[in-house]
Amino acid sequence: MDASQVIFILSAALIIASAVMVVTTGNLIHAALWLIASLFGVAILYAVLEAGFLAVVQVVVYIGAIAIMFIFAVMLTRKEMRDKGPQVNSSWPVAAVLGLLTFGGIWVIFSKWDGLGKLPAEIAGGSNATLNQLGVALTSPDAFVLPFEVASVLLLAALIGSVYIAMNKK
């Protein structure tokens, strides 16, 4: 077992444990904080996968923006600071079975695939080259500039839309 495997197992444990807490804990603020922990673990995995840019973006976007917005939303939609009563609805056993079935199904499908044991190849040029390629890929008309632009339009639309929806219309 080498260092990267240790890191993977630790962060995977963090991700899964936090994710379980996200879906089970009663306190929503805690759930949001657990979500942050889980996403932080995902960021570590990105770093292990040598996608450093994504790792940092994950922290910026998810922890810096999305999670904070969740916490704000939780605080805004609450008369008291704590929830009372059960946090899960009555059909949770069914849902649990479905969740397990999903996992099992994906597991079965994956296990029939022969590329599972694949090991990562060395990246030519290292992480700097990757970063450059990513930048070029996002802005080159031969690659993904159109999806990139569409994403920016989507964000603009979401910005305007959410302001409009949340605005207090007298």
Partner 1 sequence: MDFTFWTDPIKVVNQWLMFTLTGWGLSGAVASVIANLLGIVLLITAAMVLDIMLVWVERKVVARFQGRLGPNRVGPFGLFQPFPDIIKLIIKEDITPDGADKVVYNMAPIISLGSVIFLWAVVPLASTIYGVDLNVALLYLVAAGALGTLSIIMAGWSSNNKYALLGAFRQVAAMISFEIPMVVALLIPTIIAGSLSLQDITNAQVNGVWFIWLSPLGALLFLVSAIAELGRSPFDLNEGESEIVSGYHIEYTGMKFGLFYAGELLHAFTFGGFLAVMFFGGWHGPLASQYPLLGAFYFVVKAMIGYWLIMWVKYTVPRIRIDHMLAFNWKFLTPLGFALLIVTAIAHSLLKDLGFWPYLLGMLASNIILGWITIEFLRASARKQRMSVQAPKPVAQH
Partner 2 sequence: MIPLSWYLYLSALLFSIGLFGVLVRRNAIAILLGVELMLNAVNINLVAFWRYGNTVSMAGQVFAIIVFAVAAAEVAVGLSLIYSVYRRNNTVIADDLDLMKW
Partner 3 sequence: MATETIIWLIPLPPLLAFFLIVLFTNRWKALSHSIAVSAAGLSWLGSMIVFIRALGTEEFGKHIFASAINWLPTGDTFLKVGVQIDPLSAVTLFFVGWTVLMIFIYSVGYHNFGQPAGDHDHPGLPPHGATVTDEHGHSHAVLSVEPMYSRFFAFIGLFAFGMYTLVVSDNLLTLFVGWEIMGLCSYLLIGFWYAKPSARNAAIKAFMTTRVGDVFMLLGLAFLYSATGTLNYREIFYNEEVLHVLSTTATPIFGLTAAGLIGLLLFIGTIGKSAQWPLHIWLPDAMEGPTPVSAMIHAATMVSAGVYMVIRIFPLLSAGWVEGGALTPTMSFVAFIGAFTAIFAATIAVAQNDIKKVLAYSTISQLGFMIAALGVGAYVAAVFHLVTHAFFKALLFLGSGSVIHGMEHGVLHTGDHHVDPQDMWNMGGLRKKMPVTFWTFLIGGFALSGFPLITAGFWSKDEILADAFVNGHWVVFTTLAVAALMTAFYTMRQITLTFLGEPRTKEAEHASETPWTMTLPLVILAVFAVGYGWVGIPEHFPGLGGLLPNWFHGFVGATLLEEPGVLPFNWWPLVTSLVVALGGLGLGWLVYKDVKAGQRDPLENPLGAIYPFLKNKWYFDEFYAYFVVKPMNWVCEVFTPWMDRSVIDGILHSVARVALFIGGFLRNRIDKPIINELIGDRTADLFWNGQNIRFIQTGRIQSYLIGSVGVLIVIAALLYYFM
Chain residues that interact with partner 1, rule: CB under 8 A: 3, 27, 29-30, 33, 36, 52-53, 56-57, 59-60, 63-65, 67-68, 71-72, 75, 81, 127-128, 131
Length of the chain (residues): 170
Q: Tell me which stretch binds partner 3 (CB under 8 A): 40-48, 100-108, 121-129, 158-166.
A: 100-108
Cα(65)–Cα(76) distance, integer angstroms: 16
85: left (phi over 0), alpha (psi -120 to 50) or beta: left
CB of 141 to partner 3, least distance (A): 5
Query: Which is nearer to partner 3, 75 or 97 (by Cβ)?
Result: 97
Torsions phi, psi for 164 (to 5 deg): -65, -45
Query: Which is nearer to partner 3, 6 or 100 (by Cβ)?
Result: 100
Rg (CA), the chain: 20
Single residue of 3, 108, 165, 166 touching partner 3 by CB under 8 A: 108
Cα(107)–Cα(118) distance, integer angstroms: 16
Q: Which does 52 bind (CB under 5 to 8 A by kind): partner 1, partner 2, partner 3, none?
A: partner 1
User: Is the Cβ–Cβ distance between 69 and 93 less than 8 Å?
Assistant: no
Question: With binding defined as CB under 8 A, does residue 141 bind partner 3?
Answer: yes
Question: With binding defined as CB under 8 A, does residue 167 bind partner 3?
Answer: no
